[in-house]
């Protein structure tokens, strides 16, 4: 039997399964859906199978394949989730995702007029899918997918190839570049995935078979930032060749190299391996050491700090700045700009960090995550420098540890010497000791916390500290579990630091999960943090807060820990709350028009922001200073009613108290 004959037979069986599903009563459809999925699996493993399913998209959906599933409402699907679906070990989940993508492709091409999705929306979604899975498109099957999915591992590859044939590379590249710039504006510490995507763009640019046409604007800046940030490295000559070129340059040429590398770094947040070669060369030369300041792109603040602590900075460069740890260079520049070395404990703590011995457990953890290209001590020092320079760039990875990530960010932001002390304890002693209401808690004596497995998708400092902090946080929660109130009231100040307000308000009754005294909750939040109602008092210390995260339809997803950083007017004179979100990407759509901004609204690097009322509509916990209550009575009821309506139409919809029964 030829391949074409086999495909025709499989499509015929699929048509029969879809017809049976269409005629099956709703209560019995799940069993028939399973039959459709099995028929589709066999088709999608064949060349030309995706096209066959695409042609049947309308019949498939109208028969009820997606009814009652997450794919039933295509207008609220999230493109980033496809990365997980394409790698899942659940073949049924994989097939359902692929069927959904082919349905959207039929809509995007105008073959299927969907009642809830336009051609433009479908096309945009699919370009995002391709952009987010570009690595899989170019690199194909890996061992993880081969192991998890068996023969079905060819399905994502065939789908992505089919999508790119239909949509075209030019749309992928534009979407990918836009996505990269959006992420870079948030200045995360971890940038390996971004660097991989830029590498794929560079490969595409070098491939004569790929025509970009007018697309790809902005790609050159990204590619050059990594592979040719200066005149001497423009054609990506290799590190050894570049070093030889530096040795033959005069001062003017070296100054131009330093300026070019610094501009590329601060423009994108990316650091090229060539930049590290340049800085190490300049730092090792008596004649050109002064150009290191130019290569770091320092302002007068950073230059003065560097001159005051020149010996320490030189040691940090020699120990931490290598081609494999290039991002530490950006962290060092920002750390100097923050001026935190002027705090008396910080410089001595960094000297200690340079000589700190790592216990066996800490070394093994570093090697598991980062390999042996650099020593574990070097990797940890890189992480320390990056976190001190970019305290709002910390991400929790794919782990339920937002509390620990928030604490690390808060300490790096507000109490850097305490963070360095934590690192010393964990790295040297494999133990952290904290206190809860006078009781000493040792991480070495506790079992697992929120995460059951050792997370590896973290920056070096988080990789070291999160397992300890996670266990301690869980133990603090256990110690106050019988108090019949929300544990965050007591745990947050003890865990995060003395500056966390002892005043505490929550919008949800812990016992029932229902909304309680919502108007009073919002009134006091306005009075505590809104400049118009608190006497124009700025936020002095970052405050731990809790939000109810919702999806693009405004439906409740879960509780999440954030840090409230400041409240201020944005460039459009809109009062906004600026906050830190430990999620790896702060730019999220929470439904009802509540779209979190990460740039363009007065945000500093790493901040997320929302208009005050929109932020309040997702807030469910906040801390405040009870001695500075503001002026609750002055908050206008119309403003509160607007926020209450947003709460009750989103995450609070299922949490409304039943009206009292009249006797």
Which residue(s) pair with 353 in the sheet? none
DSSP three-state, residue 208: coil
Is residue 384 over pLDDT 90? yes
Is residue 662 over pLDDT 60? no
Angstrom distance (rounded) from CA 503 to CA 430: 34
Angstrom distance (rounded) from CA 582 to CA 605: 14
Residue 90 and residue 72 in contact, taking contact as beta carbons nearer than 8 Å: no
Lowest mean pLDDT among 127-131, 297-301, 431-435: 127-131
Alpha helical stretches, state H, 45-109: 49-54, 57-63, 82-85, 91-108
pLDDT at residue 60, as a whole number: 93
Which residue(s) pair with 560 in the sheet? 547
Angstrom distance (rounded) from CA 198 to CA 561: 31
Distance of CA 504 to CAs 297, 326, 618, 629, Å?
43, 42, 17, 11
Residue 392 and residue 411 in contact, taking contact as beta carbons nearer than 8 Å: no
Is residue 660 over pLDDT 60? no
pLDDT at residue 87, as a whole number: 85
pLDDT at residue 213, as a whole number: 63
Model confidence at 279, pLDDT cuts 50, 70, 90, reads: very high
Q: What is the pLDDT of residues 315-327, one digit of tens each?
A: 999 999 999 999 9
Is residue 212 over pLDDT 90? no
Is residue 455 over pLDDT 90? no
Residue 257 and residue 230 in contact, taking contact as beta carbons nearer than 8 Å: yes
Q: What is the pLDDT of residues 620-641, one digit of tens each?
A: 999 999 999 899 999 999 999 9
Average pLDDT over residues 358-383: 95
Residue with tokens 């006497």: 535
Phi, psi (rounded to 5 degrees) for 434 = -125, 170
| Contacts with 372 (C-beta within 8 Å, 6 or more apart), sequence order | none
**What kind and span of H or E run contains 661?**
none
Residue 77 and residue 106 in contact, taking contact as beta carbons nearer than 8 Å: no
pLDDT at residue 451, as a whole number: 63
pLDDT at residue 661, as a whole number: 41
For the chain, the maximum distance between any two Cα atoms, rounded to a whole number of angstroms, is 94
Q: What is the pLDDT of residues 5-42, one digit of tens each?
A: 899 999 999 999 999 999 998 878 888 899 999 999 99
Angstrom distance (rounded) from CA 284 to CA 329: 16
Q: What is the pLDDT of residues 213-269, one digit of tens each?
A: 666 677 889 999 999 999 999 999 999 999 999 999 999 999 999 999 999 999 999
Which residue(s) pair with 503 in the sheet? 624
Distance of CA 264 to CAs 106, 239, 260, 313, Å?
42, 17, 6, 22
Model confidence at 141, pLDDT cuts 50, 70, 90, reads: low
DSSP code string of 282-336: HHT-TTTGGGHHHHHT--HHHHHHHHHTHHHHHHHHHHH-SGGGTHHHHHHHHHH
Average pLDDT over residues 530-544: 96
Residue 102 and residue 143 in contact, taking contact as beta carbons nearer than 8 Å: no
Angstrom distance (rounded) from CA 551 to CA 595: 11
Strand-pair category, 619-624 with 608-611: unpaired
Model confidence at 452, pLDDT cuts 50, 70, 90, reads: low
Share in percent of the chain as helix, strand, coil (round to 5): 60, 10, 35
What pTM does this model have? 0.82
User: What is the percent of the chain where pLDDT is above 70?
Assistant: 95
pLDDT at residue 663, as a whole number: 37
Rounded to a whole number of angstroms, the CA Rg of the chain reads: 27
Structure tokens at 287: 């004649």
Residue 26 neighbours by CB distance under 10 Å: 9
619: alpha, beta or left? (left if phi > 0; alpha if psi -120 to 50): beta
Residue 169 and residue 205 in contact, taking contact as beta carbons nearer than 8 Å: no
Is residue 450 over pLDDT 70? no
**What kind and span of H or E run contains 46?**
none
pLDDT at residue 635, as a whole number: 96
**What kind and span of H or E run contains 544?**
strand 543-550
Structure tokens at 566: 């400041």
Distance of CA 70 to CAs 14, 77, 97, 301, 553, Å?
22, 8, 10, 52, 12
Looking at per-residue pLDDT, the higher value among 552 and 461 belongs to: 461
| Contacts with 17 (C-beta within 8 Å, 6 or more apart), sequence order | 32, 35, 36, 38, 39
Model confidence at 401, pLDDT cuts 50, 70, 90, reads: confident
Q: What is the pLDDT of residues 145-188, one digit of tens each?
A: 777 788 888 899 899 989 988 887 666 777 778 878 988 999 99
**What kind and span of H or E run contains 255?**
helix 251-268
Angstrom distance (rounded) from CA 616 to CA 82: 31
Angstrom distance (rounded) from CA 159 to CA 47: 10
């Amino acid at each position: 039997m030829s391949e074409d004959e086999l495909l025709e037979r499989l499509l015929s069986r699929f048509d029969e399964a879809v017809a049976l599903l269409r005629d099956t009563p709703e209560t019995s459809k799940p069993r028939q859906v399973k039959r459709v999925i099995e028929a589709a699996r066999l088709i999608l493993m064949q060349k030309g199978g995706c096209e066959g399913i695409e042609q049947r998209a309308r019949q498939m959906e109208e028969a009820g394949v997606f009814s009652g599933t997450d794919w039933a409402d295509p207008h609220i699907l999230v493109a980033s989730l496809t990365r997980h679906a394409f790698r899942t070990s659940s073949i049924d989940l994989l097939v359902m995702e692929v069927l959904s993508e082919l349905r959207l492709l039929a809509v995007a091409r105008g073959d299927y007029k969907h009642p809830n999705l336009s051609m433009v929306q479908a096309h945009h979604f699919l370009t995002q899918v391709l952009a987010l899975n570009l690595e899989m498109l170019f690199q194909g099957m890996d061992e993880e997918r081969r192991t998890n999915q068996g023969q079905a591992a060819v399905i994502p590859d065939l789908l992505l190839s089919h999508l790119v044939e239909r949509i075209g590379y030019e749309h992928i590249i534009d979407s990918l570049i836009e996505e990269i710039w959006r992420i870079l504006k948030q200045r995360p510490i971890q940038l390996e995935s971004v660097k991989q995507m830029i590498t794929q763009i560079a490969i595409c640019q070098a491939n004569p078979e790929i025509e970009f046409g007018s697309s790809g604007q902005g790609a050159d800046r990204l590619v050059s930032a990594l592979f040719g940030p200066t005149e001497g490295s423009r054609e990506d000559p290799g590190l050894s060749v570049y070093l030889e070129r530096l040795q033959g340059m005069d001062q003017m040429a070296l100054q131009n190299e330093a300026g070019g590398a610094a501009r590329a770094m601060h423009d994108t947040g990316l650091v090229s391996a060539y930049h590290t070669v340049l800085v190490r060369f300049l730092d090792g030369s008596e004649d050109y050491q002064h150009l290191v300041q130019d290569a770091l792109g320092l302002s007068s603040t950073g230059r003065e700090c560097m001159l005051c602590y020149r010996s320490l900075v030189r040691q940090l460069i020699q120990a931490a700045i290598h081609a494999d740890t290039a991002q530490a260079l950006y962290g060092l520049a920002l750390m100097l700009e923050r001026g935190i070395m002027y705090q008396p404990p910080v410089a001595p703590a960094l000297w200690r960090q340079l000589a700190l011995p790592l216990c066996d457990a800490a070394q093994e953890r570093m090697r598991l995550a980062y390999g042996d290209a650099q020593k574990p001590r070097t990797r940890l020092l890189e992480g320390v420098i990056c976190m001190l320079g970019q305290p709002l760039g910390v991400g929790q990875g794919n782990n339920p540890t937002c509390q620990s990530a928030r604490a690390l960010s808060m300490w790096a932001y507000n109490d850097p010497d305490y963070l360095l002390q934590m690192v010393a304890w964990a790295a040297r002693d494999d133990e952290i000791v904290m206190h809860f209401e006078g009781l000493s808690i040792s991480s070495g004596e506790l079992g697992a916390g929120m995460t059951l497995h050792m997370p590896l998708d973290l920056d070096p400092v988080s990789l070291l500290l999160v397992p300890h902090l996670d266990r301690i946080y869980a133990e603090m929660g256990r110690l106050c579990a019988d108090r019949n109130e929300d544990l965050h009231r007591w745990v947050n100040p003890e865990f995060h630091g003395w500056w966390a307000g002892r005043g505490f308000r929550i919008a949800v009754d812990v016992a029932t999960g229902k909304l309680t005294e919502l108007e009073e909750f919002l009134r006091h939040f306005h009075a505590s943090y809104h400049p118009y109602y608190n006497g124009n008092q700025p936020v002095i210390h970052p405050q731990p807060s809790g939000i109810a995260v919702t999806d693009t339809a405004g439906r409740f997803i879960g509780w999440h820990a954030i840090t409230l950083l400041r409240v201020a007017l944005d460039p459009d004179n809109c009062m906004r709350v600026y906050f830190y979100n430990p999620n790896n990407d702060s730019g999220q759509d929470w439904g009802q028009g509540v779209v979190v901004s990460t740039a363009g609204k007065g945000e500093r690097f790493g901040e997320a922001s929302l208009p005050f009322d929109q932020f309040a509509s997702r807030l469910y916990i906040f801390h405040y200073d009870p001695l500075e209550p503001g002026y609750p009575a002055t908050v206008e009821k119309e403003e509160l009613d607007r926020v209450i309506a947003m709460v009750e139409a989103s995450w609070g919809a299922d949490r409304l108290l039943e009206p009292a029964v009249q006797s």
